[in-house]
Structure 1
């Protein structure tokens, strides 16, 4: 009975606190419309008013989250143009802190709602660190830490630091990781076909790296023996921004490239599965279009996404061995597969360039396997292989990541991992 009374009392206190936090203000503009829908101050017992905190608000039933930043006085403001009336869940992003309360707020129409936000120190700082903050925290040289940039395209650095592998086990991990295809994630790993290996060590001393990792993960200790560091929060002009997030319908979606058409629709490619998607920024509605699988059993996923002059979408099909055109009017795909004799276990079309295909009827793509440049003739549907291009004096071919075209449909090759630019 005593516990029940305490619970009821706690609820009453919480309700009273909520009433104080969320009183509607009469601060209305001269024209009768409020400029701000939701405002308040972010603070903690440790720091007092806190600037640079990301505050997110998501209306019940919506797939859109609006994020703003608190200023140097800890005050945040959501414009009325971004938040309509309704009940919103709140969240924050400030490394080292969790949201203490409140967790939700009711925004009224035509009024300014005030909600002061309290933060408390987090009990799980490791779970909040970005990859950049892990690199800042981990003891080691820049060269040692550079190795980890071969890993975090598939998973976070936190995952590495929470492991308990010893040096010998790390060597085995490196070998296993070389068999995973791009677009893999811990929830959806994809193996390459035919034992094809990807160079994940990039010429590093594997044994030395393995020994180093065994000293900075949890192999020898249940906790890290170094200080977990966080980056400074934004301030000044960096806090004057609004970030809008849109939920996607598939949990495992991996949006890679995003392009916006003249209607304001945002289109995205999926790095792990055979889809392109469309987002209506005004409503948050998402429409996804499945792409046919060309090579069953091979890794799926797309990468480069571009618009042609007529605003049809072109996408590179990676290990599926080809490129695809999506007609926005018919909502149908036209698939252009590479000739069978060009196909191998590691054939990979990562880039596509249709922007000026109307000039000469040619669409550019590549084969990341051997760094060759390919050109599709739209009239015949046939590919031309121009081969790889060597960098003068460098004794290597250019690995293009980005092949933008000029007005004459001549392309530029942007080298991946270096500073060279080629032109064809």
Structure 2
């Protein structure tokens, strides 16, 4: 990749900030009703309008009476799609000239009738659930351990991954994946997992028939999607507090997308080489690069905004903290980690402007003072893996809003810990939920934590250590969601949860202890972190690995407006 700081201007949409923040002042309106063959309303259906050339989509949901209103600033020749669970998609081309144009589309949807049609319409979770997992808790291939280890980076059960293959073919893939986890020389387990895949992914339609709830909140939600062309893995997205732009790091494209929601543009800024070879620090160390990505130098993964307004990025492949300057749209010189510690993962910033980040390769937590650029690596208690991998994947990081202490999670070790920011003393406890991934503090000092293995949400009062655990919605028996990350709305206190297997985004109201599930517009949805705009939009990247596993084959920046037409 070139070392110059070129900016690639990618056309997205012509919406203004005013159009994005509220009902458009001057916009077209598409409205109507969706019904089934009996004329009954279809609630919770997705009505999606796409400018294919610009790579921009806007979606709304039908209400309890099947009605919808889509206010849009998109113009020209557009694609209009209607989608609902257990119904065939309807698509048509529409033309909008703008200038307050109105269009009415009342659509009758046709029910899917064959097992194959229904099966193909269902999310990865319901195909994954067909695998013949171990059933005894102490066995290595139970469903929760399978979800913990095999779904950490990508889905299993989508069309890309459920192809029919003999066990011998699966074993080649399994051995490679086990090696990524540090699990080598385990021939019997390689063989057993391969047999599970071959038996479960047999090409037959799934018999699962999930039941999807409808919540009236859907009728007051609009979803915006912005394609990120040349996507490798557009990993974490962050809304900048100063300029309102959305910054998305792409781990496998080695760069940063900068999306301006007001101007309707996205720029891609490649990370300069900065003397890092292809394969990154793995090449320097003489070992195969993570996930065998030999064409990646830096692998930007997670980002946090500093008190200076710059973005500090965990460069997973170059064992460094990248520095991106939003004022100049350029990457500054990276800050190397001591000892070439590979795969810095999740990064957060405390009230004093100090950065804290996890390091997967050495199972440590890092501390960065951006003024001196001094990095300290903190050794954690000895790993205690809960599955077949010897690693524990030191993962999420959160800064307490009460006392500034640093909390972390160990995904494959089922532990969470606390670090005193002054003494760096470490205390570690068992996780209240199986497979702790990312975690965040609310303004009231409550720690919220995603439990990936069992599809749970934990609430931890860190003053008293009182803990509440909530099961996320299960649409079919045993098909547990895979919550990856979460964030707490600064205005409502609601907890928004990323998820990887059910093609939904989840919202939890702590006051009512109720979940709302928002169907994603695209099948194959895999989201990894949440950031909020000043207007209350909920933004995240949608980025399965490989990105071709996502419907339409390109990663997107997705923002939900939960206050659309209140």
Shared fold per TM-score greater than 0.5? yes
The residue that corresponds to 2:336 in the other structure is 337
Pairwise CA distance, 1:151: 3.1
Contact 2:356 2:397 in 1 (8 A): no
Q: Which residue of 2 aligns with 1:422?
A: 418
Alpha-carbon distance in structure 2 between the residues aligned to 1:409 and 1:69: 40
Shift of 1:317: 0.3
Helix, strand or coil at the partner of 1:98: coil
Which residue does the alignment assign to 2:267?
Answer: 287
User: Are 1:132 and 2:121 matched, yes or no?
Assistant: no
1:104 corresponds to 2:94: yes
CA-CA distance at 1:366 after TM superposition: 3.6
CA contact (8 A) 1:137 1:229 kept: no
Map 1:377-396; keep pairs closer than 5 Å.
377-389=369-381
Aligned residue for 1:420, secondary structure, equals strand
Residue segments in structure 2 that go unaligned for 5+ positions in a row: 1-24, 136-140, 281-292, 421-566
> Which structure: greater strand fraction?
2
1:166/1:292 Cα in 2 relative to 1: closer, same or farther (>3 Å)?
same
Query: Matched residues in 2 for 1:229 and 1:201: separation?
Result: 39
Using the TM superposition, give the Cα deviation of residue 381 of structure 1 relative to its aligned residue in structure 2, in angstroms: 3.4
Distance 1:201 1:261, change over 3 A: farther
Give the total of aligned pairs.
362
Partner of 1:210: 194
Which sections of structure 1, spanning at least 5 residues, go unmatched? 1-32, 181-196
How many Å separate the matches in 2 of 1:391 and 1:213? Answer: 29
Q: How far did 1:90 drift?
A: 0.7
Q: In the alignment, is the contact (CA less than 8 A) between 1:314 and 1:325 conserved in 2?
A: yes
Higher relative contact order (CA 8 A, sep 6+): 2
Question: 1 or 2, which has the higher helix percentage?
Answer: 1
The alpha carbon displacement at 1:67 in A equals 0.6
1:285 and 1:330 map into 2 onto residues whose CA distance is 16
Whether 1:76 and 2:68 are equivalent positions in the alignment is: yes
Residues 234-383 of structure 1: pairs in structure 2 closer than 5 A: 234-293=214-273, 294-298=276-280, 299=293, 300=296, 301-332=299-330, 333-339=332-338, 342-343=339-340, 347-358=342-353, 362-383=354-375
In 2, the alpha carbon distance for the partners of 1:202 and 1:275 equals 36
CA contact (8 A) 1:277 1:287 kept: yes
**Matches of 2:320 and 2:327, distance apart in 1:** 22
Moved more, 59-68 or 383-392: 383-392
Please report the RMSD computed on the Cα atoms of aligned residues, expressed in angstroms.
3.7
User: Which stretch shows the higher mean deviation, 239-248 or 249-258?
Assistant: 249-258
Three-state SS of the structure 1 residue aligned to 2:143 is helix
TM-score by length of 1: 0.72
Instruction: Specify whether residues 214 and 391 from structure 1 end up closer, same or farther in structure 2 by C-alpha distance, changes over 3 A only.
Output: closer
What is aligned with 1:116? 106
Does 2:411 correspond to 1:411? no
For residues 201 and 414 of structure 1, do their structure 2 counterparts lie closer, same or farther at Cα, with a shift above 3 Å needed? farther
Q: Shift in Å at residue 313 of structure 1?
A: 0.6
Relative to structure 1, is the Cα distance of residues 125 and 288 closer, same or farther in structure 2, using a 3 angstrom cutoff?
same
User: Which position in structure 2 is the counterpart of 1:402?
Assistant: 397
Seen in structure 2, the aligned counterparts of structure 1 residues 60 and 173 have a Cα distance that, compared at 3 Å, is closer
Aligned residues of 2:28 and 2:99 also touching (Cα < 8 A): no
Choose which of 57, 60, 80 in structure 2 pairs with 1:90: 80
TM-score computed with the length of structure 2 as normaliser = 0.55
Q: Select which of 25, 29, 43 maps to 1:37.
A: 29
CA distance in 1, matches of 2:403, 2:257: 30
Aligned match of 1:57 in 32, 46, 49? 49
> Counterpart in 1 of 2:5?
none
Taking a change above 3 Å as real, the CA distance of residues 36 and 292 of structure 1, as seen in their structure-2 partners, is closer
Q: In 1, distance between residues paired with 2:383 and 2:235?
A: 32
| Conservation of the 8 A alpha-carbon contact between 1:136 and 1:229 | no
Deviation at 1:287, TM superposition (A): 1.2
Contact (CA 8 Å) 1:356, 1:408: kept in 2 or not?
Answer: no
**Which deviates more, 364-373 or 124-133?**
124-133
For residues 397 and 107 of structure 2, the distance between their equivalents in structure 1, rounded to whole angstroms, comes to 44
